[in-house]
Amino acid sequence: MKKIAVFASGNGSNFQVIAEQFPVEFVFSDHRDAFVLERANQLRVKSYAFELKEFENKADYEAALVELLQEHQIDLVCLAGYMKIVGSTLLSAYEGRIINIHPAYLPEFPGAHGIEDAWQAGVEQSGVTIHWVDSGVDTGKIIQQVRVPRLAEDTLESFEARIHEAEYRLYLEVLDSLGVDRK
């Protein structure tokens, strides 16, 4: 049985959808005040939070993450709104076992503002991508992606909401396809 951990920095709606369907060993947040930690409490999922600024450098911060992952014998790390670039310490220990969700149809609109950037560019469609994490920014091998149309009557908010709905469906599908067992 594959054990998963979820990393999230803020709201945690993707985490919640995952945790409702799959056993999540723990959720990690790089912000101690992130709303995802409240969701974890509600769902009775173990959570950890610490911040990069509490460490000497990123290598030490990521070494603490590697330790957590090893302690819990995690097979797959699911990034879901984890807004840091994965550095070499975490990558060298877990490359090939970290996936990320991105709210655009990569390689279109990489980076921290995939939804807004697609909206500003006036695209007729954007999408959602789940990919393996490598040392680039949103460059790893794509596992699965889905198109999401922008409708004539859309506002940024309604467009964003449709992207998020597509994210929730795609994350569950990809976890199924990677052989993670549901609850």
Per-residue burial over 39-76, b = 16 or more CB atoms within 10 Å of its CB, e = otherwise: bbeebebebbebeeeeeeebeebbeebeebbeeeebbb
Name the amino acid, one letter, at 44. R
Q: For residue 102, indicate whether it is catalytic.
A: yes
Among 81, 90, 140, 174, binds ligand GAR (CB under 6 A): 81
Among 39, 65, 86, 114, binds ligand GAR (CB under 6 A): 114
Neighbours of 146 (CB within 10 A): 15
Is 70 or 113 the residue whose CB approaches ligand GAR more closely? 113
Contact between 30 and ligand GAR (CB under 6 A)?
Answer: no
Contact between 80 and ligand GAR (CB under 6 A)?
Answer: yes
Contact between 85 and ligand GAR (CB under 6 A)?
Answer: no
Question: Which parts of 153-172 interact with ligand GAR (CB under 6 A)?
Answer: 164, 167
Which stretches of the chain bind ligand GAR, using CB under 6 A?
8, 10-14, 80-81, 101-103, 112, 114, 164, 167
